[in-house]
Amino acid sequence: MNLLPYDSETFVSALSKEELLGHLNRVTREVNFLDQRTKAKGDIIFNGLIGRKGFRISKVVDKGDTFLPLILGKVEETARGSIISIKYQLFPGAMFFLAFWSIVLLAFTAFYSFFIPNYNYASICVLLAMANYVVAMYFFNRQVKSSRKVFHQLINFQMKD
């Protein structure tokens, strides 16, 4: 378990770079969340963008999930397949709110510790900051595990003609 909401992995696939990106492209849809017509239908597993060198995707979910990881991938061609480097991280908005509330709670801790000495309130603020961090890391790691499982199943998919 990392101390920051970030995870990474690198693995080798027997699929070529073009096959891998093509297969990802078939199960990924670029979504405009303001347009109801772009809702996921059928075989769509991921939302995001697939490029020539890599991808930026997230797992399709029915309800909003603050701690859903953004999957950033880079694919490199090898003689016998491809090497996939993946980074899992929080979306920038989720990272902003996690940092914002941590800073606010720690500022209140300093305020109640030094300016208005009330150590009960200072302790509550520290405990809330720690609880905020622990809950965020727990749910982020849980979502990384779920997204990793879906991604690995997709990559190990063998196309049969």
Kindly state the tokens that stand for 137.
């890391």
pTM for the full predicted model? 0.85
In sequence order, which ranges of the chain are alpha helices (DSSP H)? 17-26, 92-110, 119-155
pLDDT at 16: 87
Which pLDDT score, from 0 to 100, does residue 160 have? Answer: 42
Percent of the chain with pLDDT over 70: 89
Token output for 142: 């849980």
pLDDT tens-digit readout, 91-131: 999 999 999 999 999 999 999 999 999 999 999 999 999 99
One-letter amino acid at 130 equals M
Mean pLDDT of 32-58: 78
Place of tokens 């989720």: 94
For residue 112, report the phi and psi dihedrals to the nearest 5 degrees.
-75, -15
